[in-house]
Chain A
């Protein structure tokens, strides 16, 4: 009897917390789809409207922002996959003097993250003349310690016999990496890819520092300017703009939520 009561209470608490957690998003959806007079006045029969989305869409170049975000995240992911695969393999399977030290240098980046080195990295990029370019936003993130670590762990789990067999058949080192290791590490690539994309899609501070024109700003930076109190946009429109900005990633997440959650778990376990 008490057992069933506890269970009912636990379920109620879990649901209550879940509701609380999803409420801000539901609320933004409510505000964006109803007239301004309903922003704080909840009436289930309030008429729906799409006008705020139209206004928001006209006030900021969301298409440009989205394309920029897409280019930046794509560039970062491509760089990361290439660099981390090569480095992860060398650290996992190739004995050479100094390997421990190199690995320690890599791991250091897990704590000394590029996010806090904005001052010096800005200086570097200005020297390379890469300010206000997608490549400039992407460069500091391409050699990701997390990616190298994750792939090294995965590659270490691949049976050495597979490599030896392939080598006996005359496969080169890069050939082995490409034909044996990469296919076997597919789940890790997927997990890392999703984590990386969602991280960089949402990243703000560094893109803010590096970009300074409408042509190169990603979504987050555009959204911050769009929603700034100084720009005098009214509330439902900000909500609509925010929803426009988060919709691509959110839609992807809702469609493949199981995959996303498992990927984050997979990446977190290592």
Chain B
């Protein structure tokens, strides 16, 4: 009986497991394998290169720039969109006038593909006739070459990303807020706690697990979402907005060096696995806390 259950369990898991292994675990391992080879010339066997690709990586200025861009990009988008998301959720969850319409307005960018969003924002940022520069002009300020100036290009991308993501994270906060126990708030109100005190001492700590969850997802998004680069900057000017995954794409499908692309992918994998471990240990603590 028991062994039949085992057999059935494995049979039911088999399709999913095969696909998971084929498109997640095995590729993750073969990334490592391929990063140790040089690209095969036509008709020849790929040549074993040992750590050559990694030496190249350490000397590759574009890689270091993409990595640092990516870290700045995460730092520039994650905290701001999280705070905005929390504020939005608090507003939409309160008895504010027209909250359904507000929720709709905040959430709509989430439903749009990044490509469509970038198409629209491209015009906001365009140098001559762009909306932002017209706005600056009407205030008597000099116009900015938003996407063409290396100092402004990455912040411009960040601004758009914050707009796109905040409403998505709002949903998680909203779900958590609606699950909070109203008795706690009734008790706090009885004690005469001010709204700000209630927020700081009650809401914020109770939302900690949600914040952690959102944080991890937001950081993950900062590394895996590069669609807008294809429309807005193509990683330029002069790699000022190149991000890791975009650089991987360039190496694999524009420069046709899939082995170096594998080397870069491995770096990204290690980064994400570290992130996963961090999340895991933090979550463990949360479970103990409960």
Residues of A within 8 A of B (CB): 10-11, 14-15, 17-19, 21-22, 24-25, 27-28, 31, 39-40, 82-84, 86-87, 89-91, 94-97, 99, 102, 105-106, 108-124, 139-140, 142-143, 145, 148, 173, 198, 201-205, 208-209, 219-220, 223-224, 227-229, 235, 238-239, 241-242, 245-246, 249-250, 253-254, 257, 260-261, 264-266, 268-269
CA distance A112 to B109 in the complex (A): 25
| CB-contacts of B202-223 with A (<8 A) | 213, 220, 223
* A236 closest partner in B (C-beta): B123
Q: Are B113 and A220 in contact (CB under 8 A)?
A: yes
How distant is B132 from chain A, measured CB to nearest CB, in Å?
11
- Chain A residues with Cβ below 8 Å from B114 are 202, 204
CA distance A245 to B120 in the complex (A): 12
How distant is A64 from chain B, measured CB to nearest CB, in Å?
17
Interface-facing stretch out of B61-69, B72-80, B184-192, B258-266: B258-266
* A-B complex: 10 closest residue pairs judged by Cβ atoms: A120-B27, A143-B19, A202-B113, A87-B16, A265-B175, A111-B276, A18-B105, A94-B9, A140-B23, A96-B6
* B29 closest partner in A (C-beta): A120
Q: Are B25 and A108 in contact (CB under 8 A)?
A: yes
Chain B interface residue bracket vs A: 35 or more
Interface SS majority for chain B: helix
Q: A21-B167, A139-B23, A148-B16 are in contact. Are A245 and B113 (CB under 8 A)?
A: yes
Q: A109-B24, A117-B27 are in contact. Are A11 and B12 (CB under 8 A)?
A: no
Q: Are A223 and B116 in contact (CB under 8 A)?
A: yes
| CB-contacts of B33-71 with A (<8 A) | 34
B200 at interface by CB-CB < 8 Å = no
Report the number of A-B residue pairs with Cβ-Cβ less than 8 Å: 255
* B272 closest partner in A (C-beta): A111
Q: Are B131 and A21 in contact (CB under 8 A)?
A: no
How distant is A112 from chain B, measured CB to nearest CB, in Å?
6
Q: Are A121 and B23 in contact (CB under 8 A)?
A: yes
Q: A202-B114, A239-B120 are in contact. Are A90 and B23 (CB under 8 A)?
A: no
- Chain A residues with Cβ below 8 Å from B238 are none
Q: Are B105 and A90 in contact (CB under 8 A)?
A: no
- Chain B residues with Cβ below 8 Å from A115 are 224, 245
Q: A119-B262, A238-B119 are in contact. Are A112 and B107 (CB under 8 A)?
A: no
21 pairs from A and B in contact (CB 8 Å cutoff): A14-B96, A14-B102, A90-B8, A94-B12, A97-B6, A105-B25, A116-B224, A118-B252, A119-B252, A119-B261, A120-B28, A120-B265, A143-B17, A143-B19, A204-B114, A224-B231, A235-B123, A238-B119, A245-B113, A245-B116, A257-B107
| Most chain B Cβ neighbours within 10 Å, of A86, A119, A254 | A119
Q: A105-B25, A265-B171 are in contact. Are A113 and B224 (CB under 8 A)?
A: yes
| CB-contacts of B1-32 with A (<8 A) | 5-6, 8-10, 12-13, 15-20, 22-28, 30-31
- Chain A residues with Cβ below 8 Å from B84 are 17
| CB-contacts of B242-289 with A (<8 A) | 245, 248-249, 252-253, 258, 261-262, 265, 268-269, 272-273, 275-276, 279
Contact of B24 among A94, A96, A108 (CB under 8 A): A108
How distant is B117 from chain A, measured CB to nearest CB, in Å?
7
Known: A96-B6, A209-B249, A228-B231. 16 other contacts (CB 8 A): A10-B94, A10-B96, A11-B96, A22-B105, A24-B121, A27-B120, A106-B16, A112-B272, A113-B220, A119-B248, A120-B34, A139-B23, A140-B23, A208-B230, A246-B113, A269-B179
* A141 closest partner in B (C-beta): B23
CA distance A246 to B164 in the complex (A): 15
| CB-contacts of B104-140 with A (<8 A) | 104-117, 119-124, 129, 131, 134
Q: Are A117 and B31 in contact (CB under 8 A)?
A: yes
B163 at interface by CB-CB < 8 Å = yes
Q: Are A122 and B252 in contact (CB under 8 A)?
A: yes
* B279 closest partner in A (C-beta): A111
- Chain B residues with Cβ below 8 Å from A254 are 104
How distant is B246 from chain A, measured CB to nearest CB, in Å?
9
Contact of B265 among A27, A117, A228 (CB under 8 A): A117
How distant is A45 from chain B, measured CB to nearest CB, in Å?
20
Q: Are B91 and A205 in contact (CB under 8 A)?
A: no
B198 at interface by CB-CB < 8 Å = no
Q: A111-B276, A117-B28 are in contact. Are A246 and B9 (CB under 8 A)?
A: no
Contact of A204 among B174, B178, B227, B252 (CB under 8 A): B227
Q: Are A25 and B123 in contact (CB under 8 A)?
A: no
Q: Are A108 and B276 in contact (CB under 8 A)?
A: yes
CA distance A106 to B129 in the complex (A): 50
Q: Are A28 and B120 in contact (CB under 8 A)?
A: yes
